[in-house]
Amino acid sequence: MKILIINGSPKGERSNSLRLANAFAEGMGTRVSTEVETVDLSKLDIRSCKGCFGCWKATPGKCVIKDDMPSVIEKLIAADVIVYSFPLYYFSVPGILKNMIDRMLPMVLPFMAERSDGVGSGSHPARYDMSGKRYVLISTCGFYSAKGNYDAVCGMFDHICGKDNYEKIFCGQGELFAIDALRAQTSAYLDTVNKAGAEFAGSRISDETREELSRLLFPKEQFEAMADASWGVSKDEGNTEKADDSLIFTRQMAALYNKNSFDGNERILEMHYTDLDKRYQIILGKDGSTVIDSDLREASTVINTPYTVWVDIADGKISGTEALGKHLYTVNGDFSLMVNWDRYFGVEKPADKTVSGKKPPVMSAMLIPWCVFWVILPWLGAQWAIIPLAVAALTPAFMIKHELTIYDRLSAGAAAILSAAALITGDTIMPRIISYVIFGGMWLISCFTKEPLCAAYVKYNYGGESALDNPLFMKTNYILAACWGIFYLLTAALAWVLGGHTAIFSILSNILPAAMGAFTAFFINWYPKHLASLPQ
Ligand SMILES: Cc1cc2nc3c(=O)[nH]c(=O)nc-3n(C[C@H](O)[C@H](O)[C@H](O)COP(=O)(O)O)c2cc1C
């Protein structure tokens, strides 16, 4: 199938609309075999129609102007699918595209004809067989939504292609497609356009996909704040001074603030660009964000970063957590802002799913068999070991919606075997000592692998597999895994020494893990914050 993309943006290859058109054509290519050709009008010499009607009278079918238009007409005739890709200019098509359309006059015959679709008051018959061709209009515009802006465009194409005889994808907030920092949002939209292309190649774009295509990239208010900030000029009348790049950048970042994340406390985030020796504060409040560059207040969180590093983070060249882990920037003050960055700055988190499509693993899948084992054996005796045995056997089934880690499987297996051993031998001490050795051993051995035990579970809260590249995350998890490993090996030793059945041991074996839990809760907050505040 021959697809001809007419790129009607004066920006040529840098066109936002063209990104959508390419995604659409790629999508078509996933369904049918395609041959895609793009005609970049900005690079062609296509002069405006003289209105001489020479192409109807003196040289029928041939224009008197000698430029690049004849080759475009050849391609239009040969194509199976014609995709008009263009920006909205003054609620219509850009001049270069209108020029091209006017120059399509040689493609029709001069005679008057009736229209069957009720559009307008007449038409001219086609000079060439254009039946069976499919048309697609793909366009981005600058306002927050495409709604209501394309009446003139549709009015014109109803005449050219036939009433509604074309597919259309019109997308507001078009300039966002050029911003690397917003790739997460724009690529999700491009994926939908790609899907639309595949569906179009099959038959037609589904209502569900159409609905997705009409969704805004950002809410109106947030988009407009970002757009206004991007110009770098003040709204104040008479103020023609262009703002500093770092200030424009900070304003755009502030515009991403999601005011729904406001938790009752106003936060002041200070961006200290160390290489520029500049400080700006973003005040994150109930009604939105404000950027100030003078009369700075006491900040709740200060980010000390070279401007270049923060731009790289925004452009997705390095993740914020990875850069922090590498000490490329430091953070002082309230670290919770960093932990919840995505919530405050509105970048949607991808759905919590693992590679297998299941929900991420949960640590309770590993802990439940052990906890039941450790509670039942000392308090009810070996004859009740059937309970931990049953729990260990059933836990994987209860956790069917979650991916299971190797530790979940090992724990269920070991707890089941030790419960069976207790049941058969009637001994509760040795199986418990062995259980502590196995449990502690799992934690310790995991420290010699690329993924310490706790990381296998919590990494999904920190970006999934990419968390493993984050030195801050990894250091914290290795230390904790080692602590828990040593703790349970010591517990095994204590159980051995105390005989496992004394009241002291039973109390200690409950209190000490609770204390370790409290230490863990403290450590996971304190340690990353401590590391983040250390200079390079
Ligand atoms: C001269 C001019 C006129 C424009 N007119 C409109 C308009 O009427 N409505 C609108 O929403 N955006 C308008 N825009 C914004 C563009 O449609 C928007 O930036 C678009 O995403 C550019 O797409 P492109 O990168 O494919 O050229 C206009 C831009 C320019 C330069």
The fold for domain 222-344 equals: Nonspecific Lipid-transfer Protein; Chain A (3.30.1050)
pLDDT of residue 324: 86
Ligand 1 atom with the smallest distance to the CA of 88 is 17
Ligand 1 atom with the smallest distance to the CA of 140 is 21
Question: Residue range 514-522: average pLDDT?
Answer: 93
Task: Tell me the residue type at 505.
Answer: F
186 pocket-lining for ligand 1 (C-beta < 6 Å): no
Q: Is it the case that residue 154 has pLDDT exceeding 60?
A: yes
Q: Is it the case that residue 234 has pLDDT exceeding 80?
A: no
Q: pLDDT for 342-354, tens place per residue? A: 788 865 555 455 6
Ligand 1 atom with the smallest distance to the CA of 9 is 27
Which of the pair, 141 or 345, is modelled with greater confidence? 141
pLDDT of residue 387: 96
| Mean pLDDT (the chain, rounded) | 91
Ligand 1 atom with the smallest distance to the CA of 174 is 21
Please give the distance of CA 145 from its chain centroid, rounded to a whole number: 20
Torsion sign, CA atoms 23, 25, 29, 31: positive
174 pocket-lining for ligand 1 (C-beta < 6 Å): yes
Q: Which residue's CA is the closest to the ligand 1 atom numbered 1?
A: 89
CB distance 16 to 141 below 8 Å: no
pLDDT category at 270 given cuts 50, 70, 90 is: very high
364 pocket-lining for ligand 1 (C-beta < 6 Å): no
144 pocket-lining for ligand 1 (C-beta < 6 Å): no
Residue for token pair 């993924």: 451
Burial of 521 (0-12, 13-18, 19+ CB in 10 A): exposed
pLDDT of residue 232: 73
Q: pLDDT for 47-91, tens place per residue? A: 999 999 999 999 999 999 999 999 999 999 999 999 999 999 999
CB distance 388 to 415 below 8 Å: yes
Residue for token pair 């001069």: 110
17 pocket-lining for ligand 1 (C-beta < 6 Å): yes
Ligand 1 atom with the smallest distance to the CA of 91 is 8
Q: pLDDT for 276-323, tens place per residue? A: 999 999 999 998 899 999 999 999 999 999 999 999 998 888 888 888
Which tokens belong to 144?
């927050």
pLDDT of residue 363: 94
Distance 96 CA to ligand 1 centre (A): 14
141 pocket-lining for ligand 1 (C-beta < 6 Å): yes
Q: What is the CATH number of domain 2-217?
A: 3.40.50.360
Q: pLDDT for 371-393, tens place per residue? A: 999 989 888 888 999 999 999 99
Residue for token pair 């983040």: 532
Q: Which residue's CA is the closest to the ligand 1 atom numbered 23?
A: 87
pLDDT category at 498 given cuts 50, 70, 90 is: confident
Q: Which residue's CA is the closest to the ligand 1 atom numbered 7?
A: 90
79 pocket-lining for ligand 1 (C-beta < 6 Å): no
Q: pLDDT for 397-456, tens place per residue? A: 999 899 999 999 999 999 999 999 999 999 888 999 999 999 999 999 999 999 999 999
pLDDT of residue 500: 58
8 pocket-lining for ligand 1 (C-beta < 6 Å): no
Distance 182 CA to ligand 1 centre (A): 19
Q: Is it the case that residue 466 has pLDDT exceeding 80?
A: no
Which of the pair, 148 or 323, is modelled with greater confidence? 148
97 pocket-lining for ligand 1 (C-beta < 6 Å): no
Its pTM surpasses 0.75: no
Contacts made by residues 428-433, CB under 8 angstroms, sequence distance 24+: 428/377, 428/378, 428/381, 428/382, 428/385, 428/500, 428/501, 429/495, 429/499, 429/500, 429/501, 431/377, 431/385, 432/373, 432/374, 432/377, 432/378, 432/495, 432/500, 433/492, 433/495, 433/496, 433/500
173 pocket-lining for ligand 1 (C-beta < 6 Å): no
pLDDT of residue 88: 98
Distance 139 CA to ligand 1 centre (A): 9
Distance 188 CA to ligand 1 centre (A): 22
